[in-house]
Structures are given as C-alpha cells and as structure tokens.
Chain A
C-alpha cells in the first residue's frame, strides 16, 4: 500500500511538469496578447509596444519566459518568482498578482463544487440502487426518467428559469449577494444551495445511471445466486454482497467524472454572478489576460490531479484485490 502511494505521488511530478508546458503553450497560442488588450482600452492608444514588452519581460525568448514563469530563471527584478515558489503570475489587467485574486475566489468554487457533489451523490446512489432492485417496475421507470431529465435539461437554462420566474411571479430572487461563510454561515448556504444543486444535477443523473448499471451487473453474478440459494435475506444480499462490489466500480467512475463537475462551476458561476475561479477564468479569456488564464488553468488541473490521486488511493483501499496484492 505504501509502495503504491509513493509510486503514485512520484508520478505526480512529471505529469505536472508536462501540464505546465501545455498550459504555457496555450497561453501563448491564444491570438492577441496583453498589450493588445491594454491598447484597446480608451486612452491607451499611444502605448509604446517595445518599451512595454521590455517592461513586462515579453521581449525575451519563449523558453526564458517559461523558465521565469515556473520560477527556475531569475525574472526582471532578479528574483526567482514562479510557480515553484507558489507565485502564479501577475494580472496586468487587474493590476494585482494572480495569487491575490485567488485568495477570495477559490473558496467560492470549492464550496459550490462540494455542495453539488454531496447533493448529487446522496441522491444518485440510493436512487440508483433502488432502481436496480426494482428493475422494470414503475419505480425503476420513474427513477430512470428522473436521471434522463437531469442529463437532458441544460443546467444553464434551468438556472436562468429559476432566476427569472420566481422574480416575475412572486418578486423573489435567489440571493445573489456574496456572503462569506465565516461571516454568516446560514446566509452563505442559502446563497450556495440553489447553484450547488443545479451544478450537481447533470452529474447526479450520470452517477445514477452508472450506479444502476453496475448494480445490475453485480446482481447477475454467480456469487449473488449462491448467496440467494443459501437462503440469505434480500437485505443482506444487497448490502453485504452486491453493494460492496458495485460501489468499488461506482467510485472509480465518480472520480473520472469529477473534472466534469468542476468544469460545470464555470457556467453556474457565470449565471449566478458568483465571483469564483470560473468567472475569473472566463473574464481572463475574454480580456486576453493570459497570465491569469494560465494560472487558473494550472490551478484547475492541479485540483483534478489531486482528486484523481484521492480516488485512486481510496479505490486501492476499498478494493481488497489491490489492497492485498500490494501489501
């Protein structure tokens, strides 16, 4: 087990290294750079391009810029200031460092994702199991239709509907003011619960379907038949024999779909005007604030890599086949 964890952790480093290269290429492949963006602002038409490039350190070869970005080459001020030192860059549009922008926004995205995740898992797995045990019956059909509904209705549409119609009919709008969890936990949850549910909706439908198929797969195995012929009660068969085996598969698939959930925060934040990472990213893309874009994408990928790591580890922990092999 320890060997496996160490191996996985070591693999983390080259992956991250390649990711930084890819993201750096993205940052520079996007047409138009920060100087174009600054020139587009009113009153800035006369900007001296060459001087500014020199000032920002954009006049050196790309490889040097990359080195500076990840922090292995001294920057203009002669300091090592880059990703390896935990410095993600400087947003020339907002005139603050990327880290500073992150300080308030990461918690928003995280909270949104956690609420979406928790709500959808607690709905999806029980309904999925129920649906598998009642296969072909009315309960199964209803829960499958619910899953299809979750998958088919675009969350961004439902979200706008939820903002619009209560406002027109009852003069009610979901709270859009940003409240920090530390200041007022109840208000904060009130603000996040609707976006969180909407974020989790599609994910919920996906997990429900996965749980159902995996559960059906397991219920058809020989050992379930054996358990049944031993005369065990349906409850014990379900919980001890079927569920345990089905969940191993479900957890891996949940893990694989988490990037999808995290990506969904972008749209939900945009609609509910939550000042999280996703909103920051979209604005950075729009304003060609490439250093900010790179920093955020890197942040997202690190999160995904960590989630994958956790999923792999928990998978190896709950799956006895791996747990015993690697001992």
Chain B
C-alpha cells in the first residue's frame, strides 16, 4: 500500500468522523420526506411547549365566565369552554403536559429497560429468572388496567403518572434489550475482553452498550407516541392529570358533557393529539429506518 493511499484513507476517516452527523441529517431530509414532516411537527410541539407562557394569549385557568361556551371568534380563536377559559391557551399549555409526560416517561422507561435488560441479559441466572417472571406477570394484565390500578394507588398527578408509565413500560421493554444483549454477548470480542481481565462494568459499558445503542434509540422513539396516547387515555378516564390542569385527554373528557351544545370543545384537543402522535410516529419510523437498514427492505441483507 502506497503512502498516498494510507494518507488518503486516514483523511477520509477523519472527514467521515467530522461529517457523519451532517451526512446523517442530510440523508434524513433527502430520503425521509414523511419523517422530515414528523420532525417539523415534533419541533413545533417542543417550541410551543417551551414557550407556552409567551405564546398562549390567556392563562391556563383564566376564566371569563361571561363568554362561556363561545365558538371561534377574534378574541378566542378556538372558542371558550364551560368556564369561559380560552381553548387555544389550554391546548398550548396542554402541549406542555404532553411533552413533559411523553418524553420523561419514555426516558424513564428506557433507562429502566436498559438497566434491567443489561443485567438480566449479561449475568443471567437467578436475577434474570426473577425479572423475566415479573415481566410475564406485567404482561398478563391489560396495560390500561394495570395503569389505572397503579394510578389509584399512587393518586393522580404528573409525577405519579410519569413514574407509573415509566415503570410499566420500562419493565416490559427490558425484554427487548435483554435479547439484544444476549445476541451481543455471543461475540468473540466479549470473550476477548473477558480474557484480558476487563471488569464486568467495563465490558457492559464499553463493549456491550455501544452495540445495542440502536435498539435503545428505537425503543425510545416507539415509546414516545405510545406514552402520549396512554397519558391522554388515562386523563380521559380521569386517572391521569387532575382536572383544573389542562391536558388534552382531560379536556376531551370534560368537553363531553357539552358535546351537543359546543362540539368545538372536542375537536381541537383531539386534533392536536392526533397530529402530535402522527408526527412523532412518523419521525420514529424514519429514525428506525435510518439506523436499522434491515427494516427498509429494498436494501440487500447484510453478510
């Protein structure tokens, strides 16, 4: 191999490292049209929820009782509810709840899944056995029943909701991580690392974790829309976010009382929910396609 070639290869490597991120992003926008759309929806959702106080024309519980149950007008763009609260503002504040619960519950669930999955996949044995039985047990309950039961034990509230959602799906999702870990564990480099005397901690963090990172990302991206939906369902049933606080599911359920008189109470929260879940789903799908090319189908199988 000539010196030129070696230099060129090293240069390419450097370049690849520097611009891998850029290329990823470019590829994403070029190949994933619907995914980009989902990304835009997600970004808008994030901006709205971060700057909710600035964007919302009224406070979340600012009641204007004289103008209750009004349909769209120039002062109240989406109308007002039964207490005269501005629906647009409540939807904007509701986005905050959606983002906080959706993302932090997904994060919590992913962290729990990764920790449990790593330990039970890598060490196996009794710990693995116990965890797997717990997962079986959890899966025997329809998830919504388990969630309602746990919510009635802990009481309604944002923090409780995050904990309950995160725990349930975290424990169930650990099985996915576990099987990925078991796959990676079979590789020779793990044996090699063992042979040169690496500690378990080092093997787990430096050798196994990097190999399952794509599984982790996929797990997280599929969790988020799921969590948003479950949060809305629970709030709809009255077991999620407590009443005066605006959440889209709760708005839908309280609007049902006036549904014939004021159907616009129901349209906007449901539409917001649908668009957000759609957008995040699309984004998640595209991310999965990007990091797991086997899902794409047309491309050749590896190896």
Contacts and interface: CB of A to CB of B under 8 A. Distances in A.
Given A135-B298, A259-B139, A259-B143, A164 B152 contact: no
Interface in B123-164: 136-137, 139-145, 148-149, 152-153, 155
Interface string A203-222: 00000000001001000100
B167 interface: no
A220 B153 CA distance: 49
B107 interface: no
A49 interface: no
Interface in B224-259: 225, 229, 232-233, 236-239, 249, 252, 256, 259
Interface in B242-286: 249, 252, 256, 259-260, 263, 266-267, 269-270, 273-275, 277-278, 281-282, 285
Contact of B141 (A148, A163, A300): A300
Given A31-B153, A220-B301, A297-B145, A164 B273 contact: no
Interface string A176-211: 000000000000000000000000000000000000
B140 A30 contact: no
Given A259-B139, A304-B140, A160 B149 contact: no
A65 to B, nearest CB: 18
Interface in A12-57: 15, 18-19, 22, 26, 29-31
Contact of B238 (A26, A167, A262, A286): A286
Contact of A157 (B144, B274, B295, B301): B274
A160 B155 contact: no
Contacts of A158: 270
A266 B260 CA distance: 23
A282 B225 CA distance: 24
A151 interface: yes
A259 B140 CA distance: 7
A135 B297 contact: yes
Nearest to B239: A285
A317 interface: no
A213 B249 CA distance: 31
A275 B277 CA distance: 30
Contacts of B297: 135, 216, 220
Nearest to A132: B297
A260 interface: yes
Interface residues of B, number: 44
Q: Which of B152, B153, B266, B301 has its CB near the most chain A CB atoms (within 10 A)?
A: B152
B48 to A, nearest CB: 18
Q: Which of A152, A167, A220, A259 has its CB near the most chain B CB atoms (within 10 A)?
A: A152
Contacts of B270: 153-154, 157-158, 160-161
Interface in A94-153: 135-136, 148-149, 151-153
Contacts of B229: 154
A282 B143 contact: no
A29 to B, nearest CB: 5
A297 B274 contact: no
Contact of A164 (B136, B266, B301): B266
B256 to A, nearest CB: 6
Contacts of A300: 141-142, 145
Contacts of A89: none
A301 interface: yes
Contacts of A168: 260, 263
Nearest to A303: B142
A301 B141 contact: yes
Given A30-B153, A220-B297, A282-B237, A304 B274 contact: no
A304 B143 CA distance: 11
B261 to A, nearest CB: 10
A286 B155 CA distance: 12
A154 B277 contact: yes
Given A213-B295, A216-B297, A220-B301, A259 B136 contact: no
Interface string A242-286: 000000000000001001101110110011000000000110011
Contact of B145 (A163, A216, A263): A263
Contacts of A220: 297, 301
Contacts of B277: 151-154
A267 B237 contact: yes
Interface string B25-60: 000000000000000000000000000000000000
A19 B143 CA distance: 14
Contacts of A154: 229, 232-233, 270, 273-274, 277
B143 A260 contact: yes
Given A30-B152, A160-B259, A164-B259, A148 B282 contact: yes
Contacts of A160: 252, 256, 259, 266, 270
B122 to A, nearest CB: 25
A238 interface: no
A75 interface: no
Contacts of A29: 153
A308 interface: yes
Given A256-B139, A266-B145, 6 more contacts: A135-B298, A153-B270, A293-B149, A300-B145, A304-B140, A304-B141
